Amino acid sequence: MPIAGGTDPVAVPRAPVSRPDGRTDLVGLSKAAIGEALLAAGLVEPKQARMRAKQIWGWIYNRGVTDFAQMSDLSKPLREGLEAQFVVGRPEVIEAHVSTDGTRKWLLRSAGEEYEMVFIPDADRGTLCVSSQVGCTLNCRFCFTGTMKLVRNLTAAEIVGQVMLARDSLGEWPSSPEGRLLTNIVMMGMGEPLYHFDNVRDALKIVMDGDGLALSKRRITLSTSGVVPMMARAGEEIGVNLAVSLHAVTKEIRDEIVPLNRKYGIDELLQACAEYPGANNARRITFEYVMLKGKNDRDEDAHELVRLIKQYKLPAKVNLIPWNPWPGAPYDTSDEVQVQRFSDIVYRAGISAPIRRPRGRDIMAACGQLKSSSEKLSRAELDRRAEEKLAALG
């Protein structure tokens, strides 16, 4: 569905996506849609559709089965019919890398386009960083993904497919909530998730479904650079934790580094945060703040950040992200001493402001380093692409 007000500049392909072999991928479809697909394919009687869809759902999302022949509680003719008309797909793995700190990055491909996902293991959790677009519609000036031309939005199947593939790689089928490595999901890979809301919502609903992957909404965080008109719907229809890429506290600096600010300014954004459904002191909104030397890291920026959070009475925490470098970038990482000073100022005002430890930098898997191919672009080409995206913003 197009978003009112021209916030959705890119046409979105909708699942089910027909594959070159004419079969339909069942991954990415809701339970009801699987039932309808079985009916339309003439494989079940109307009164069986729901039951069969539920059984198939369990095989796909609870046991991780991709081969219909293994779905042993279905009749042989049904299994053969499924095999002829459907698949349980996965993105193709093109490259897999492991960092010295244990972070893993995969370069994936589906329908001809490449995108990345990252798994970050910690002592008490394992976080999968999922991409929502190939490239990004936007062009935050400090972000490597932002230098890519947007290729396309990922389908719900491709978004869920990343979680399925991570479970495959980690050997975590059947999907039991106990003792598993993959415990959290962040929509913080390539792309702006609120620029194609429907696919992201459909994918996350599947990931949260209790009969399948069963990840709680409390363990999922969606990060947006500030697509204000879609924030309320994200809260109402998905209900996951919200992270907002704030990165600056003045119009001048945010306009420069997060150009979407020219469309939806800081006040509008913070007002939308104040109204975000489900945010409270137990479920705070995370403000991401990338530390750029001499740009947004002064003491007065920290004080202004505190003032804004208090003015809007936001249940908030701040994540300070040391900027991760990439080839040809126009910024520097803030000095450690300054990052610490900034953090202390925010903490002293009673707002949590931890400094994030960069993960997976050696394999270009850290925040803002994802890009399907790491070409080094000239400054002129970077500027040209930025201008092109700005013009598309309208």
Write out the binding residues for ligand SAH, residues 132-161 only, by CB under 6 A: 140, 142-143
**116 catalytic, yes or no?**
yes
CA 114 – CA 123 distance, rounded (Å): 30
- 316: contact with ligand SAH by CB under 6 A: no
- 372: contact with ligand SAH by CB under 6 A: no
**367 catalytic, yes or no?**
yes
Q: Catalytic pick from 136, 140, 143, 367?
A: 367
User: Which residue in the block uniquely carries the two structure tokens 């019919």?
Assistant: 81
Nearest to 289 by CA among 236, 332, 343: 343
Q: Per-residue string for binding with ligand SAH, 328-367, x by CB under 6 A?
A: ---------------------------------------x
Taking CB under 6 A as the binding criterion, the range among 23-31, 73-81, 106-114, 319-327 that sits at the site for ligand SAH is 319-327
Q: Which is nearer to ligand SF4, 205 or 385 (CB)?
A: 385
Q: Which is nearer to ligand SF4, 204 or 321 (CB)?
A: 321
CA 371 – CA 148 distance, rounded (Å): 7
Instruction: Tell me the one-letter amino acid at 337.
Output: V
The binder of ligand SAH chosen from 139, 224, 334, 343 (CB under 6 A)? 224
Q: Which H or E element spans position 82?
A: helix 76-85
Cα three-residue angle 166-14-234, rounded to 5 degrees:
70
CA 150 – CA 313 distance, rounded (Å): 36
Output DSSP code: residue 354. Answer: P
- 162: contact with ligand SAH by CB under 6 A: no
CA 32 – CA 42 distance, rounded (Å): 16
- 7: contact with ligand SAH by CB under 6 A: no
Residues whose CB is less than 8 angstroms from the CB of residue 11 and which lie 6 or more positions away in sequence, other chains included:
none
Q: Per-residue string for binding with ligand SAH, 281-300, x by CB under 6 A?
A: -------x-x----------
Extended strands (E) in 122-188? 126-129, 133-134, 152-153, 184-187
- 245: contact with ligand SAH by CB under 6 A: yes
Q: Which is nearer to ligand SF4, 163 or 258 (CB)?
A: 258
Min dist. Cβ of residue 131 to ligand SF4 (A):
9
Cα–Cα separations (whole angstroms), residue 360 to 52, 99, 168: 42, 5, 21
Residues whose CB is less than 8 angstroms from the CB of residue 130 and which lie 6 or more positions away in sequence, other chains included:
117, 159, 162, 163, 185, 186, 187, 188, 189
Q: Catalytic pick from 114, 116, 158, 288?
A: 116
How many C-beta atoms lie closer than 10 Å to residue 260's C-beta? 26
Min dist. Cβ of residue 257 to ligand SF4 (A):
9
Min dist. Cβ of residue 148 to ligand SF4 (A):
9
CA 60 – CA 163 distance, rounded (Å): 12
Min dist. Cβ of residue 241 to ligand SAH (A):
13
Q: Alpha-carbon dihedral of residues 229, 234, 236, 240, nearest 10 degrees?
A: -150
Question: What backbone torsions phi and psi does residue 368 show, to the nearest 5 degrees?
Answer: 75, 10
Contact residues toward ligand SF4 (CB under 6 A) are: 136, 138-140, 143, 145-146, 191-192, 225, 245
Partner that binds at residue 139, options ligand SAH, ligand SF4, none, CB closer than 5 to 8 Å by kind: ligand SF4
Min dist. Cβ of residue 122 to ligand SF4 (A):
22
Q: Which is nearer to ligand SAH, 116 or 192 (CB)?
A: 192
- Using CA of residue 221, residue 27, residue 161, residue 167, what is the dihedral sign? positive
Tokens at residue 362, please?
Answer: 């050696």
Partner that binds at residue 203, options ligand SAH, ligand SF4, none, CB closer than 5 to 8 Å by kind: none
- 225: contact with ligand SAH by CB under 6 A: yes
Taking CB positions, which residue lies at the least distance from ligand SAH?
368
Residues that bind ligand SAH (CB under 6 A): 140, 142-143, 188, 191-192, 223-225, 245, 288, 290, 321, 323-324, 367-368
Question: Would you name the residues annotated as active-site residues?
Answer: 116, 367
